[in-house]
Amino acid sequence: MKRIVFGFILIIISIFQGVAQEALTLSDALQVALSQNYNIQLVNKSMEITKIQNSWGEAGRYPTITMNLKQGNNIADQSNNPTSFIQALLMSNSVEGGVNMNWVLFNGFRVKASKDKLEKLESQSEGNAALVVQNTIQGVVLAYYQAKLQSEKMALLKEVLTLSREKWEYVKLKQDFGVALTVDLLQYESAYYSDSTNLLVQELAYKNSIRNLNMLLGVEEMTSWTLTDKLEVEYPTYDYNDLKNKMLNNNQTIKNEYINLEVLKQDIQLAKSTMYPVVAFNAGAQASQSSFKISDYPRASGATLNYYANFTLSFTLYDGGKVRRGINMLEVQNEVNEIEIEQLKNTLSSELLSQYDFYLTRLKIFDLAKEAFRVARRNMDIAQLKENSGLINSFVFRDIEMAYLRAGLAMFEAGYNLIESQTNISRLTGGLVSE
């Protein structure tokens, strides 16, 4: 039974390791995400729409020219109508057509204000796209290193499992020669099964992390990768005041709020344009040709051609103060938005300070965790020698082995937490998009 369980575990592990994998660096992952991430594709399409709309024609600078054509036929049988002046079969045909041009010459600078608003809306769309790109980059970075974290944990668990298997097999061999205790054999057997279970759970966590990474990359969910970047990266030295200045100047959320403020200011200009008179020009030509036939008499026909050119001036003398109230409301809303921007700056400054403190603390924790893991590894090497020499029993060795495992897992977690803080600082200061 033990051999069956042992073989089953080896088969599962070999299947997992045998899947074809492609090397993937963080830089490659970001390139894939920028071209294939669904959110980025959608926001790019939205940006294309606003770019198309940003034109003088959309703002109303140019005239509108229309053409119309109408053809009519009418038959009226009045031969049995004693009240009709002409008691006969009446037939008429007509063709009418024309071209008309409408051109607003002046509407209180509304055209200029509309074009400026379209410019701001395009900038707003670009800002939203940059925010989506920023969030996607952050998500990919964290998902990549989360998968790398799970991979490192899995490698450490495999190392411990290999050691447990070797110890178990060694003690079984010693027992065959009658020089090993049953309690030691059971201890190592139990440790082997426990480590095997932990490895299977960890492999599932690794699969889920890769699946989450693939979702952000916009690739097939079953795609397998070999993550080549190390979990430990370069950790710069930050100055909080410098970070705060960068955040106030480069943070994408703050930039977008300022753009929204500019859009609202254009809405105020559009509202003010309704207080001016509107001058419009209308010109065109209308042509018609018709024919008329009474019973057996010859058909009579005729044609007309009309030209026209008109100027119109319209001005709202009184509307109950509706326009003025609308302008006042927009101006108040503008003040509200300015207050919200200051509130946003204050909130982001507080978040930046928290992330800065996190970074400094996690940097120290990571250094301590590396030293703790180095000591645990050294202790583990010594424990193996002592256990082989019979100076410590299986229970003491297992405790040292578990301390080594916990130290390694803690070091990997500390490395990931440090990368997370560094990424958050880069996002707050606008570094993700610029880099």
Q: Say yes or no to pLDDT of 348 above 90.
A: yes
Report d(CA 148, CA 200) in Å as an integer: 17
Tell me the pLDDT tens digit for each residue of 124-149.
999 999 999 999 999 999 999 999 99
Question: Considering the domain 63-106+279-314 in this protein, what is its CATH number?
Answer: 2.20.200
Q: What is the pLDDT of residue 335?
A: 94
User: Do 400 and 320 contact (CB within 8 A), yes or no?
Assistant: no
147-151, 289-293, 398-402, 426-430: which range is least confident on average? 289-293
Biggest CA pair distance of the chain = 136
What average pLDDT does range 259-269 have in this prediction? 93
Residue 270 main-chain phi, psi, to 5 deg? -65, -40
Who wins on pLDDT, 331 or 295? 331
Q: What is the pLDDT of residue 418?
A: 95
User: Do 428 and 434 contact (CB within 8 A), yes or no?
Assistant: no
Other C-beta atoms within 10 Å of 148: how many?
23
Band of residue 2 on the pLDDT scale cut at 50, 70, 90: very low
User: What does the angle CA 383 – CA 388 – CA 393 come to, to the nearest 5 degrees?
Assistant: 65
278: left (phi over 0), alpha (psi -120 to 50) or beta: beta
DSSP state of 25: -
Band of residue 12 on the pLDDT scale cut at 50, 70, 90: very low
What average pLDDT does range 160-180 have in this prediction? 75
Extract the tokens encoding 207.
Answer: 């699969």
Q: Say yes or no to pLDDT of 48 above 70.
A: yes
Q: Say yes or no to pLDDT of 9 above 70.
A: no
Amino acid letter, 190: S
* Equal CATH topology for 2-36+108-277+319-434 and 63-106+279-314: no
2 contacts: CB under 8 Å, gap ≥ 6: 189
Q: How much is the mean pLDDT over the chain? A: 88
Best CA proximity match to 409, nearest among 435, 384, 372:
372
Show the DSSP H helices in 303-393 as ranges: 322-388
4-13, 240-249, 322-331: which range is least confident on average? 4-13
Tell me the pLDDT tens digit for each residue of 202-246.
999 999 999 999 999 999 989 999 999 998 878 889 999 999 999
Report d(CA 358, CA 411) in Å as an integer: 16
Show the DSSP H helices in 218-251 as ranges: 240-250
Extract the tokens encoding 167.
Answer: 């110890």
Stretch (H or E) spanning 89: strand 89-106
Q: Hey, where are the domains in the chain?
A: 2-36+108-277+319-434, 63-106+279-314
What fold, for 2-36+108-277+319-434? Outer membrane efflux proteins (OEP) (1.20.1600)
Who wins on pLDDT, 168 or 150? 150
pTM value is: 0.82
